[in-house]
Structures are given as structure tokens and as C-alpha cells.
Structure 1
């Protein structure tokens, strides 16, 4: 019974997502403005003009763990940044703390090169495995921030308290840092140390804010509608219980 209800909800949400995607292509769904992404769009242009890099820290999310969802968002952000800044003198770089993430990042950068008709050069230097433990990952990312003329740091993925070291390295270089994670400890660190922390679903909405594709905006609209449906159901169930039905 429970499995059947879960399958029904999944099918209903999938159908809603498809319908909203079609509607998005006809009329765009307006997202609420987030200062972090306003600053990011401006910073990308300035970094390209100044010949500086954008750094994406993908974290340590394992491909087979429940923490991989936030890492996928980081990979999506890297893909969008590559589409914008790949032709710059210093294209974006990515650091990760897990081998699978490194390979996926290199694959994404290779696809971006092919899309622009550019030879995929120096992929191991543009997407690196800088450490497999939390501390080594933080130290390795900090070294890249200091050595690679980085102007913008995006920390999106599964990170923990080691994120404080990365934010500190970014702050020492005077960089703009935008950070989001699925880990509560990392979110607390970002609230204190990042230029623009992303909390909760703000991190998961990063791709939609950066590229504006219909399917990504529709996914946010689907989440909003599902959230309201759950709220109304809880209110209805509470009222029914109070009146004794």
C-alpha cells in the first residue's frame, strides 16, 4: 500500500514537471532574486576581463552515498561556468576530494571544450583531486586559490568543518566566496566565513539561477507546488483530527 502511494506521488510529480516545463518555454517563471547570484554574474564578467580564474570546490561527495546530490549541483554549476568562461585566458578550475567527482568534472569540462570546438587541453590541471581526507582537501583547495589567480570561489558540494580553511584562504586573497552544502556544520561555517552563504534549497537551485533553462525553472516550481500541497494536507489532517472525524 505504501509503495503504491509513493509510486503514485512520483508519477504525479513527474507529470507536473513535464507540464510545467512546457509552460516555462512559453512563459518564463520568475525566480526571486538572490544577492549571491547577482554578485556572481557580475563577478564572472570581471574575472574574465581581469584574466583571473573561477574556482569551484566540489567537496567530497561519494558517488554511491546520499551526499552525492549536492555534488551533482556543484558539477552542474561547473558546467554552466565553463560555458561562459571557457574562452577566457584562465578558464575555471575545480577541486574535489573524491576520485569519481574528479573524473566527472573532467568529463564535463571536456564536453564544454567540444561544444566550443576547442581541444580539451590540460584537463587534469583544470579538475584536480587535491586530497582524499577532509583536511588534505581543504589544504589542497587553499593552495589552488593562492596559486592560480582565483577571483571567485564557489563551494558547492558535501563539505564539513574543513570548509573554514577554504573560506579563510579565499578571504585572505580578497575573493568573492559563494558557498552552499548539505551538511549543517558546513552551513554554520559558511554563515560566518563566506561572502554569500546559500542555505537549504538555495544551493540546490544554483543551476536554475545560472542558466535559466525551462526544465530547471520548472523543477523549482514543482517543488513549490509540492510544498504547498503538503502544507495544505497537514492543515486539513489537523482540522479533521480536531473535530473528531
Structure 2
């Protein structure tokens, strides 16, 4: 009987260990997903390929880069600058850990002029004060699907935009961001719903200082290489 009890306790402990390990693995996976999807959001994008096929769609460009807030938080923060000949959209995208997905929180700025062109600055100067952020945000969850892309939507509630309501859907891959904003008026009538297909143009360029350092390292390496070659030829004579 005592042996049976011992087996039962061992079995329960095994189940507990498996459950704890699975939860830890899941937490690690979500943490990795946060880093991955944030990196996939970072860089230069445009929808020129879509415009070529559909000239009625406006040309839109995206510049995005990692930033820091002036107060500590557990999110991966990306500054997002979207431009076209019709509008400008400056946003803070914050990626954080949810239970089974990546939480994405999108906020505007109280003073857009204070952050415009932020990605042109060195990484150490990309700091946004929380006093420039509103309390409210537009939120959705990004789920990683088996074929390795993220998708999410805040349907049906969406987020308020003045007297309108915007329902957003998004799909994120390594080299593309596909977004759809459906705009409804106060009576629930759909006003616009054009999908935009962004493709990666390039990753963020290094800062001027890093470029100078890179050139300096390349130049020093070249000089050293030539000097070693000269000494080798001299010694062989």
C-alpha cells in the first residue's frame, strides 16, 4: 500500500514538473516572439509594388526603429513613422507578453513635432518621454501561426478615431506588413477599407558615427594587411 502511495506521489510530481516546464517553455517562446515580431516591424517599407499593380492605391512609406521610453517598462518599443502625399501618421508600437500571444499597444503622440524624424538620430538619443503619450491606446493580439507569420485583429470593437471607429487587421512576415483599416462612421456605415501591402525596402541604416567607425576599421585593416605583406616579401628576399 505504501509503495502504491509512493508511485502515486511520484506520478503527480511528474505531471507537475511537465506542466511547469511547458509553461516556462511557452513563456520563453512568447518572449522570443516579442523580439522577432518587433524586429520584423523595424526598417524601411513601402507599398510601391502594390501601387504598380493598383495605381489607385496611394504610395505610402514606413520608417520605424527601436526606441526607449524615459521610464522603465517591459515592452519592446518601436517608433513608427508613416508618410504619403495625403497624410502623416506617427505612432508608438509597444510589444509585450500576453498569455498565449504578443500584445501590441499602439499610441499616438500629444506633441508629434517632438518625435518627427526620430529614426534619423543615434540610438542613444531615441528616447520618448511618457509625458508625450496619451493614457489610452489601441490594442490587439498578434498570434504566431504554424507557417511562421503573425496575425491579429481588434474586430469587432476596433478603436475610436474622433467620431469614427477603426477596426484594424494586420499580418506580419519577415519582409512584409499587410494591414487593413476599416473605418466606420458613428452609425456603423463602412467608409473605407483599402488593404495596404508594405514590402521591406531595407533594414535601418547605421548611424553616421557607426559608418565612420566602420570606415576607420576597414582602413586600418587594409594598412595592416599591406604592411604584413610588405614585411613578408622583404623577409623572403
Relative contact order, higher structure (CA 8 A, sep 6+): 1
Q: Which has the larger radius of gyration?
A: 2
Report the structure, 1 or 2, having the larger strand content. 2
Q: TM-score, normalised by structure 1?
A: 0.25
Report the structure, 1 or 2, having the larger helix content. 1
Q: TM-score, normalised by structure 2?
A: 0.26
